[in-house]
Structure 1
Amino acid sequence: MQGTVTKSMGLWYLVEGSDGVNYQCRLKGKFKLENKKISNPVAVGDRVEIIDDEGNAEAKIISKIHARQNYIIRTSPKKKGHGHIIASNLDLAVVVATVANPKTSLGFIDRFLVTAEAFRIPAMILCNKIDLLSSEELDALKEKMKEYEVLGYKTGFISALNPKDIEHFKESLSNQSTLISGHSGVGKSTIVNQLIPEADQKTSEISEFSEKGIHTTTFAERFKVFENSYIIDTPGIKELGLAEIESNELSHYFPELRELLGQCKFNNCTHTHEPGCAIAAAYEDGKISQSRYDSYLSMLMGDDNRR
């Protein structure tokens, strides 16, 4: 039987079969991952084939993982030199961001967008907790987000506790599989609970000591919003290290840099110090924002400041 992985629980997975029934499944043996160093062979969103487990009548075995259309990946926080797939087969990747409690850095947002670009996944920045902002702070946030809108990214501004905001966001989820990601404490699980009350995702207050979120979602899980529409809630990400992206490819995943490629004097230009660099010239002319260029340099140099 074919099915889709809806929850990852370490060694066990929940798979929704083509018959609409959810099955507890495990892997049998080791999967060859096309020589890729991946810490998790199966991810939420994977399309798989399952067979009976002869040793356990109440479980199934994942016998095959179908080729992924795309996926969002990060460096594994537990296994050095490996990548960790957050979710696969996505139509939209949403990064939930907050100005404070906790603060989401522009660098973190840019890393998320670059990862989505690398696998050709449309991305959206969803700014949550706007009810905590003054009118001046909200205006400044919207002005900053215009820089991303010009680049082709969708943006949204909500309070997860406002039903009208949630309903408006829900309209953008029709007929697609959507990943919701971001730091702990930005309100991902609250958004999921507002969209799907029966999901009953755990939420918690921000730590007053660190002003950072406390991990509440333990495993990635897919929920049905309505017919043919799904969202995948994920554990909060503290750091987002780039995986499967070579330094000479990085500029391709910044839309404003990509449109200038081929105009530099040297074919192997890194856009950092070379003479005749079209991208450096555009930055000096104010056509590329400082925060975006700084993010590019940080990623290029493998900076560990991934927050």
Structure 2
Amino acid sequence: MTKKKHLTKRQTDRIAQNEQKRLRGNKKSKTEQWDEDVLLAPEPGLVISRFGQHADIEDSSGAVVRCSMRRTISSVVTGDKVIWRRARQGTGSIDGVIEAVEDRSSVLLRPDFYDGLKPVAANIDLMIIVSAILPALSLNIIDRYLVAAEMTHIKPLLVINKVDLLTAEQHQELDQQLSQYKKIGYDYLLVSAKSGQGMPELLTQIHSGTSIFVGQSGVGKSSLMNNLMPGLTAATREVSENSGLGQHTTTVSRLYHLPEGGDLIDSPGIREFALWHLTEQEVTEGFIEFQPWLGRCKFRDCKHITDPGCAIVHAVEQQEISKDRYDSYLKILASMVQDKPNYF
């Protein structure tokens, strides 16, 4: 049995401090200073990015205004559609206030060890799961994002970057690895931000609606952004030659309008993508090829591991379900117990 992690004193103190901040709010925030007589009529807006207690809002003309938020608003993230009010006299710094957030069609949540669930972006139509052969390609990370996509009902697209570094033999091996995803209905693209390979096909996928780039640090999301939007000054860094780990290049989620149409959100890179906020049943349902076999096990409370008469294990043995995907499923279940904070 996997041993549960215990919080250190430093981690416990940080969690307590974050909780106190949430409880008392930002008492010095400018939201307390917005009186009716200094504001214009309410108008719709789109959240381009969020910075602490402030957010950049795009108005109907395309102009961007930095706003504070009413303390009654619990959450504002990139992609939110909001109702806001402009200051009668702008100062060039904080020139408006967000009054309300409209209902979201979808929201991507990321578990944070210290802060619990953190929304990343809202109203997303396509989740572009970016991986790369450098750092080493992790199918388990891909599977985690696929589970998240299924749980949030956001269509996923797998994009493998830096394929210009592959030999012909390695290219063939990669196609074999990804064929298991194609078989169960997930599309994938092999691209190179450096050479431009696959970029026209990627652009076709995102020319309408709102898409979001997600993935580990160092897989080249910002480089892909620069390729899709020439002239964009998104920061890029090389993968550390010493550690082989990706460098974080984006610190906040930001929405961009593509020249050919469609919106694209670039999200911060992460080393891992935990799923401890989900139940085991939700993770099981997140593996879409398992669904035809659910309810066919001998025992109703089957754990799909060592229980006799398990339909999913039988499907794996009969090669109806990929063993690699099943092993990834078991790894995710084990990590949920190991990574889940003991305060959650």
Equivalent position of 2:98 in the other structure: 62
Which is further off, 234-243 or 163-172? Answer: 163-172
> What residue identity is the alignment partner of 1:265?
K
Deviations 1:55-84 (A, max 9, x none): 9754211111112111221111442xx111
Mapped partners of 2:53, 2:312: distance in 1: 46
Q: Indicate the residue corresponding to 1:281 in structure 2.
A: 314
Equivalent residue, structure 1, for 2:59: 17
Which residue among 120, 127, 142 is the counterpart of 2:153?
120
Q: Is the 8 A contact 1:97 1:104 kept in 2?
A: yes
User: Do the aligned partners of 2:276 and 2:339 also contact (CA within 8 Å) in 1?
Assistant: no
Partner of 1:217: 250
TM-score (structure 1 length as normaliser) = 0.90
Q: Provide the C-alpha distance between the structure 2 equivalents of 1:47 and 1:251, rounded to a whole number of angstroms.
A: 32
1:26 aligned residue: 68
What is the distance in 2 between the residues matched to 1:54 and 1:20? 19
Deviations 1:196-233 (A, max 9, x none): 12321000111111111111112111111136401111
More helix by share: 2
| One-letter amino acid of the structure 2 residue matched with residue 172 of structure 1 | Q
Determine the C-alpha separation between the residues in 1 that align with 2:148 and 2:89.
40
Give aligned-pair identity as a percent.
33
AA aligned opposite 2:107:
Y
Cα pair 2:222 2:250 within 8 Å, conserved = yes
1:158 aligned residue: 191
Stretches of structure 2 lacking an aligned partner (at least 5 in a row): 1-42
SS, match of residue 75 in structure 1: strand
State the alpha-carbon separation in 2 of the partners of residues 151 and 83 from structure 1: 29
Q: What RMSD, in angstroms, separates the aligned Cα atoms of the two structures?
A: 2.0
Larger radius of gyration: 2
Q: TM-score, structure 2 length as denominator? A: 0.81
Q: CA deviation at 1:10?
A: 2.3
Once the two structures are TM-superposed, the CA of residue 153 in structure 1 deviates from its matched residue by 0.8
* 2:133 aligns with one of 99, 106, 116: 99
Q: Which amino acid aligns with 2:124?
A: L
Contact persistence 1:199–1:223 (CA under 8 A): no
Distance 1:104 1:72 in 2: 23
- Please name the residue that 2:120 is paired with: 86
CA shift, 1:168, in A, is 2.3
Partner of 1:198: 231
Which consecutive residues of structure 1, in runs of 5 or more, have no partner in the other structure? 33-40
- Residues 135-169 of structure 1 show CA distances to partners (whole Å, capped at 9, x for unaligned) of 11111101111100111111000111223532221
Which stretches of structure 1, 4 residues or more, deviate above 6 A after TM superposition?
A: none
The aligned residue for residue 71 of structure 1 is 107
